[in-house]
């Protein structure tokens, strides 16, 4: 226990850093995922192409490479932001591709007649999607979206290699102080477990409230 008690402030700072990355990147991923899923089913061809390209590129790009592109590439074009903001952008954009596909699969489960009925009542595409299709699709995509956000929380560990304060990076400081490396990683794992179990519990509640009975 002395590894934890003697370095509680270090662990706490890393835990809060990972928590911030997870929350902000999750919000960004959900917003972008919703937008890209809308693009992928839009009646406008250019939007479908853009949405498809977004998903294809990001899903097939290693996350570490995306971190290099964002944290080291964007400043060369004059965009200088704190590294934590760049890390949120990298994590959020990467995860949005998977959120998009989860939402699109949910949209495909909604009977086509629902959309046709909405259009026959004079609803626009945006109204049909937001008021009729997505509320039904959301019920079936709660589990995969939850799993994707849990993966995001674990992927945030990559940010530590780019001078961003997060939980995994605390091992360097604690190891330099001569503490047992095994117990150092045990308490890091406990921190990630707390975050992932909290996300899992949240989506379990959402699934019980609105999920589709199987």
Tens-of-pLDDT digits for all 214 residues of the chain? 666 776 678 778 889 999 999 999 999 999 999 899 888 888 888 999 999 999 999 999 999 999 988 888 888 888 888 888 999 999 999 999 999 999 888 887 777 777 777 777 777 777 777 777 777 778 788 889 999 999 999 999 998 888 788 888 787 777 777 777 787 788 888 889 999 999 999 988 888 876 555 4
Q: Write out pLDDT tens, residues 137-176.
A: 787 888 899 999 999 999 999 988 887 888 887 877 777 7
Q: Write out pLDDT tens, residues 171-197.
A: 777 777 777 778 778 888 888 999 999
Residues with Cβ within 8 Å of 182's Cβ and at least 6 positions away in sequence, in order, are none
Q: Of 102, 105, 98, whose CA–CA distance to 25 is shortest?
A: 98
Q: Of 94, 167, 165, 108, whose CA–CA distance to 141 is shortest?
A: 108
pTM, whole model, 2 decimals? 0.86
The structure tokens 């370095």 sit at: 7
Q: What is the pLDDT of residue 108?
A: 79
CB atoms within 10 A of CB 73: 13
Residues with Cβ within 8 Å of 77's Cβ and at least 6 positions away in sequence, in order, are none
H/E/C letters for each residue in the chain? CHHHHHCHHHHHHHHHHHHHHHHHHHHHHHHHHHHHHHHHCCCCHHHHHHHHHHHHHHHCCCHHHHHHHHHHHHHHHCCCCCHHHHHHHHHHHHHHHHHHHHHHHHHHHCCHHHHHHHHHCCCCHHHHHHHHHHHHHHHHHHHHHHHHHHHHHHHHHHHHHHCCCCCCCHHHHHHHCCCCHHHHHHHHHHHHHHHHHHHHHHHHHHHHHHCCCC
Q: What is the pLDDT of residue 59?
A: 92
Q: Which two tokens stand for residue 54?
A: 């977004």
* Contact indicator for 93, 66 with CB cutoff of 8 Å: yes
Residues with Cβ within 8 Å of 124's Cβ and at least 6 positions away in sequence, in order, are none
């Amino acid at each position: 226990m002395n590894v934890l008690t003697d370095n509680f402030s270090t662990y706490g700072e890393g835990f809060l850093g990972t928590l911030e990355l997870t929350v902000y990147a999750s919000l960004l991923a959900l917003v972008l995922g919703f937008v890209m899923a809308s693009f992928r089913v839009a009646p406008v061809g250019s939007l479908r192409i853009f949405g498809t390209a977004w998903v294809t590129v990001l899903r097939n790009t290693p996350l570490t490479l995306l971190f290099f592109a964002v944290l080291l590439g964007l400043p060369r074009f004059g965009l200088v932001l704190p590294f934590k903001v760049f890390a949120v952008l990298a994590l959020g954009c990467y995860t949005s591709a998977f959120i998009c596909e989860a939402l699109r699969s949910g949209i495909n489960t909604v009977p086509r007649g629902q959309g046709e009925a909405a259009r026959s009542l004079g609803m626009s595409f945006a109204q049909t999607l937001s008021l009729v299709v997505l509320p039904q699709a959301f019920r079936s995509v709660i589990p995969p979206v939850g799993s994707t956000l849990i993966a995001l929380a674990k992927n945030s560990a990559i940010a530590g290699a780019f001078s961003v304060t997060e939980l995994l990076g605390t091992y360097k400081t604690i190891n330099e102080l001569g503490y047992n490396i095994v117990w150092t990683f045990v308490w890091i794992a406990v921190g990630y477990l707390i975050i992932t179990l909290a996300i899992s519990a949240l989506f379990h509640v959402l699934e019980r409230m609105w999920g589709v009975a199987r």
